[in-house]
């Protein structure tokens, strides 16, 4: 499995795309240097900076006949990548 898991397609991430910043869900053990190399190799762009954050999982519970069922959504690491001026990443080109 590679460093990049999937692109981050949310309303906030789409707003950042206009400023040359793109979001990705990445492997929890990946560091900024690995993320930069993988994005440059995969998309053919020049990366200026990488910001990372760990998005913690949420606790979930629901009521059923057998009682309360509790669980947790998994935590994930996200990276916001700023590309050089003039470079763009098109997430929808393969559709």
Q: How many domains does the chain fold into?
A: 1
- Residue 11: which CATH number? 3.30.70.330
Residues 59-76 have pLDDT tens digits of 999 999 999 999 999 999
Residues 12-36 have pLDDT tens digits of 999 999 999 999 999 999 999 999 9
Please report the pLDDT score of residue 92 as a whole number.
Answer: 77
The answer to whether residue 25 sits within a structural domain is: yes
The answer to whether residue 93 sits within a structural domain is: no
Domain that holds residue 59: 4-83
The answer to whether residue 91 sits within a structural domain is: no
The answer to whether residue 94 sits within a structural domain is: no
Across 1-75, the runs of DSSP E, i.e. the strands, are 4-7, 21-26, 47-55, 59-64, 67-72
Q: Contact 30/77 with Cβ under 8 angstroms?
A: yes
The answer to whether residue 90 sits within a structural domain is: no
| Percent of all residues in the chain with a pLDDT value above 90, rounded to a whole number | 91
């Amino acid at each position: 499995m590679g460093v990049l898991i999937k692109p981050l397609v949310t309303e906030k991430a789409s707003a950042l795309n206009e400023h040359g910043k793109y979001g990705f869900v990445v492997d929890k053990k990946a560091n900024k240097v690995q993320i930069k190399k993988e994005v440059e190799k995969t998309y053919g762009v020049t990366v200026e900076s990488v910001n990372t954050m760990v998005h913690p999982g949420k606790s979930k519970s629901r009521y059923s006949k057998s009682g309360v069922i509790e669980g947790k959504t998994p935590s994930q690491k996200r990276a916001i990548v700023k590309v050089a001026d003039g470079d763009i990443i098109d997430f929808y080109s393969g559709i």
